[in-house]
Amino acid sequence: MSLELRDKLLKSVEASPCGVRELAKKIRRKTANVVSLIRAMEEEGLLRREELRKGRGRPMLIIKATSLGDDFLRTYSMLNLKMLRSRRADLVRAARDAEYAERLESRGLSTFALFLELNSIVGRDNLGVA
């Protein structure tokens, strides 16, 4: 699930705690998708569900943000305000690096395994082991 969708859901819940159907209408998503997103965010500790009993029948589930969810929302909003700046040279270098990684993968080499090997070599070199 995307960060933007998590942000949208947390903002909706922050404005007023509500049930799953209301939340699905607010963020304009299918109820099943909202339920799976809520479960994922609940496992991450960003949301919590509370039962609200109103007379007879099935209790309504109210979705509320946790303190970690509030912190996520603040931090995500701050990051959206920061502009990314890069020079043309940075973009050219990134393109060259991507082409190099593509060539390595076409030869059957794992870029991740090579990265780990390079890290271990640099780590040993920093410790004075040759």
pLDDT at 38: 92
- Cα–Cα distance for residue pair 91/98, rounded to 1 Å: 11
Q: Higher-confidence residue: 54 or 31?
A: 31
- Whether residues 74 and 93 share a domain: the answer is no
- Whether residues 13 and 49 share a domain: the answer is yes
- Whether residues 92 and 74 share a domain: the answer is no
- Whether residues 77 and 95 share a domain: the answer is no
Q: In this structure, are residues 111 and 104 in contact, taking their beta carbons and an 8 Å threshold?
A: yes
* Tally of domains within the chain: 2
- The first and second tokens of residue 15, run together, are 């404005």
pTM for the full model?
A: 0.59
Residue 74: give the domain boundaries: 3-81
What is the pLDDT of the chain when averaged over all its residues? 87
- Whether residues 118 and 58 share a domain: the answer is no
What CATH code is carried by the domain that includes residue 63? 1.10.10.10
- Residue 128, pLDDT > 70, answer no
- The first and second tokens of residue 12, run together, are 């909706």
pLDDT tens track for 48-69: 998 888 778 888 889 999 999 9
Read off the pLDDT band of 126 (50, 70, 90).
low
- Whether residues 75 and 11 share a domain: the answer is yes
pLDDT at 127: 60
- Whether residues 29 and 68 share a domain: the answer is yes
Which of 12, 19, 11 minimizes the C-alpha distance to 52? 19
Residue 128 is classified by DSSP as T
- Whether residues 33 and 66 share a domain: the answer is yes
Residue 14's contacts (CB-CB under 8 Å, 6 or more residues apart) are 65, 70, 73
- Whether residues 49 and 111 share a domain: the answer is no
Q: Regarding beta strands 60-65 and 47-52, do their DSSP bridges make them parallel or antiparallel, or are they unpaired?
A: antiparallel
- Residue 130, pLDDT > 60, answer no
**What SS3 state is found at 3?**
helix
- Whether residues 18 and 61 share a domain: the answer is yes
Q: Higher-confidence residue: 107 or 83?
A: 107
pLDDT at 8: 92
